[in-house]
Amino acid sequence: MGKTPLLTGVYAAAVTPLKPDLSPDLGGLTRLIQFLANRGCHGVLLMGTTGEGPSFSINERIMVYRAAASARLEFPGFQLLAGTGTPSIEDTIFLTKSAFDLGFEAGVILPPYYFRKATDDGLFAWYSQVLDKAVPSGGALLGYHIPPVSGISLSMELLSRLKEKFPDKFAGIKDSSGDAEWARSLGVRFGKDLSVLNGNDRLFSLALQSGASGCITAMANLLSPLHRLIWDSFQAGNPDEITQDKLSHAREVLDRYPPMPPVLKALLSRIHGFSDWKVKPPLLEFAPAQVEIVLSEFLAALE
């Protein structure tokens, strides 16, 4: 059905460091990328949901892409994925081309999330234009399947059509549905023909057992050494259920305090010593007393 997936391993869905004036903290981003590269991540996704991507202007996104491309120069092999999806096909094409021009390995692209009743034919036409006009030879596009947020599902039939038409460009899917049966079904339907990167920490081991090629998760900002243990153990043929249980319990804590970016930034500051990065409205920072509660529950889940 296509070539072996190129995107494998543990990827952090990185937060976007922000200054008090809500502009991107590019120095903070460099430090975060260095931190994640040194803690077992094979790469990062920038400007995804965790990175508050849709809250940023085109110019801000490109500033972040450019800073990340510079930061990864000291980490050969560390991969950069760009969240480039917008409801505008022209803006999506521009952002995707810009990311590839900066040396990114892949675009992770939301469907056009305003028209939620768009048909598979319409989505196929939309993604086909992006693939034709923005993805170079050797580049990869991952569809971003996160229906609880986007309101739009990427069907099995749509994925199959895109892979058939663009076997060397349509690489697969970031699956953030949180649906265990969907994770299993992706493996049954596509095997190793599509790169499936799971987005829910609780399903990481299950996804690997179902043929997934890795993960892109928010919690890897905090716990990527645990994700890497699970990944390495699975590659060695020794699934690590104990570490998976820790990840699952920790994820259950964070899921009680949505949305994810504010809690991740608070915990990155308290646990790993990063600055108290802001979030963009409509998201709001956690109150200090609430941070203490979440921190206590989170650390207890890892015991």
Would you please indicate which residues are annotated as catalytic (active-site) residues? Answer: 49, 114, 144, 174
Matching residue, tokens 């965790």:
50
Q: What are the residues facing 147 on neighbouring strands?
A: none
What distance in Å separates the CA atoms of residue 123 and residue 60, rounded to the nearest whole number? Answer: 27
Nearest Cα residue to 141 out of 122, 154, 150? 154
Stretch (H or E) spanning 225: helix 220-235
Instruction: Say which residues have a Cβ less than 8 Å from residue 122's Cβ, sequence separation at least 6.
Output: 115
Phi/psi for 213 (5° steps) reads -95, 0
What distance in Å separates the CA atoms of residue 30 and residue 11, rounded to the nearest whole number? Answer: 16
- String of b and e for 263-287 (b: at least 16 CB within 10 Å)? bbbbbbebeeebbebbbeeeeebbe
Q: Hey, CA dihedral for 31, 32, 35, 38, is it positive or negative?
A: negative
Instruction: Say which residues have a Cβ less than 8 Å from residue 89's Cβ, sequence separation at least 6.
Output: 112, 126, 129, 130
What distance in Å separates the CA atoms of residue 243 and residue 233, rounded to the nearest whole number? Answer: 10
- String of b and e for 186-198 (b: at least 16 CB within 10 Å)? bbeebeebbbbbb
Angle CA 178–154–85, to nearest 5: 95
What distance in Å separates the CA atoms of residue 5 and residue 192, rounded to the nearest whole number? Answer: 7
